[in-house]
Structure 1
Amino acid sequence: MVVCNVLRVTSRLATRCCGRALYSTENKARFYTKKHEWVSVSDNIGTVGISNYAQDALGEVVYVQLPDVGKDIEAGDECGALESVKAASEVYSPVSGTVTEKNTEVESKPALINKSCYSEGWLFRVKLAKPEELQQLMDQATYDKYLEDH
């Protein structure tokens, strides 16, 4: 019974963030850090954002600072910041590479992170310098287990 309730709550939270993302095939290609950033890779370009858990814990995001295009970053580097009505949080890059794009829409409309953390609310894109770093990150199932245990 407790497990069922946890699954229902988790499902509701994911639905609140981005509707279809919980059931999207993109979930299989998303990798997570222990600090709740995610990266999804296509053609050696990683799209980075924060997880549903992170956006829910932050509350209403009111300010976003993202890395500049052209900036070289290393996995684990602090490269941005988010502020909400409850807290401030640094953004850490899950992978190494060069920033190719930042989501300027999310800078002007920070609430997109709360509304759609896995699609419209992505933060920045990076050309991967070390694709093998993805092996150090958690897949969806491992991240879900991590959330249960912490």
Structure 2
Amino acid sequence: MTVEVNTIDQSIDTIKTISRQKQGDILSLNDRLPANEHEHHTAFIQIRVPQQQLDPTLEALSQLGEVQQRSLTAEDVSAQLVDHQARLRNLRKTETTLLEIMDRSGGVADVLKVAQELSNIRNSIEQIDAQLQALQNRVAYSTININLEERSPASR
């Protein structure tokens, strides 16, 4: 969303307060001062709030000033979640099978081969588990990008 505001600094403080009140986080902040008298003070802030706080947060942010532009996009990650969960289940089954084989193996060479494969499987489990957690985090939180543009003193 792009909002035209009276003062950037005050609006940044207000956004920080709104973010805290809605159990959110500031992900990034880029405050750009004008290089000359023809430019305006601008800022870009990216915040993240719990999904259930999205609408109240957007409503509060729209009170900062005159909303110039707003867009809302959603990404369906349910297929990715299901895929990652299935892959994780299969890898855990393979891990269990390898542990059983390792218990039955007699020779050192066989044990080393199974141990190496077990290590590879466990690395894959860790990677997919991390990806799954990241996806679940994306589902639980909404990211809001806010562009602030300061009004010229004449139009305040």
The TM-score with structure 2 as length reference comes to: 0.24
Give the structure, 1 or 2, with the largest relative contact order (CA under 8 Å, sep 6 or more): 2
More strand by share: 1
The TM-score with structure 1 as length reference comes to: 0.24
More helix by share: 2
Higher Cα radius of gyration: 2
